Structure 1
């Protein structure tokens, strides 16, 4: 991924189970805001903070139907396990309804040519507190395992290709 810079991704921990602690990851996430202390305060009070996109990361908004079609179902633990393996990076879900979209976090300089909407500068994303959630608005489907831990948009594009219906070919008699 290249050299680590303050606004880009940091190399992932080789062992997702023994990476840095939640505090280090939370500090990296909070630094997406010009006032990280207000982010920590929002997480403590509401369990959710609105973070500006385009500085540390962007997000691709994927409708739940597309994710569930690609994964083969909508059972939360199965979806989480599948996305953790396939995308190997953080994913947030709007859980206010069964149709709530997924937000796949990607690097600000990563290319995306898919049909799903890329959210970037001048957009705020509701980011839940790491650990035990306090909010019923959003949940980490796959939490970040290290500062700069982000999804590869190429992996997302490949996954979403499996959600596409195959074209029906008619054979003339």
Structure 2
């Protein structure tokens, strides 16, 4: 069931294109549409391993809860590959993390219908609450760094035999 808020979010997303009706047609015929990044939003593409490490879990519901609390903004999941934290446009101009790529002008992002949260498909792991409400890039970078720290072993001192 599509709510008024879903429609407002869908319209905001659709206005990334000069012909917004194409987005609605895509969503009517399939589960997602392709939208350009760098117009309404940029997207930080994060490897699943970093997200699962940051959440201390690979269980979808646990990861979704963690991302909801940690990022307070929308995240799209492409199962078994990537999470895409949606951030303000032009974030790519200051993005400094080498652990995740920030997609902006010239890139396209698969965006599921606003109410698609089914785990088996490209879906909203954390749905957009309101039009234009996006993740804070600094918070996204901190989550990525935490995941990296979890995956990086503690340094150890090796002893040479005498």
Count of aligned pairs: 152
CA distance in 1, matches of 2:120, 2:114: 14
Of the three residues 46, 66, 73, the one matched with 2:30 is 46
Structure having the higher helix fraction is 2
Q: TM-score, normalised by structure 2?
A: 0.85
Of the three residues 102, 106, 113, the one matched with 2:87 is 106
> SS where residue 125 of structure 1 aligns?
strand
- The answer to whether residue 117 in structure 2 is matched with residue 128 in structure 1 is no
Partner of 2:76: 92
Q: TM-score, normalised by structure 1?
A: 0.80
Per the alignment, do residues 136 and 35 of structure 1 end up closer, same or farther by CA in structure 2, a change over 3 Å counting? farther
For residue 79 of structure 1, report the CA deviation from its aligned partner.
0.6
> SS where residue 21 of structure 1 aligns?
helix
Per the alignment, do residues 145 and 39 of structure 1 end up closer, same or farther by CA in structure 2, a change over 3 Å counting? same
The answer to whether the 8 A contact 1:128-1:135 is kept is: no
Runs of 4+ in 1 over 3 A off after TM superposition: 132-137
The answer to whether the 8 A contact 1:47-1:135 is kept is: no
CA distance in 1, matches of 2:112, 2:122: 6
Cα deviations by residue, 1:30-65 (Å, 9 ceiling, x for unpaired): 111111100011011112100011100010110000
CA distance in 1, matches of 2:64, 2:54: 13
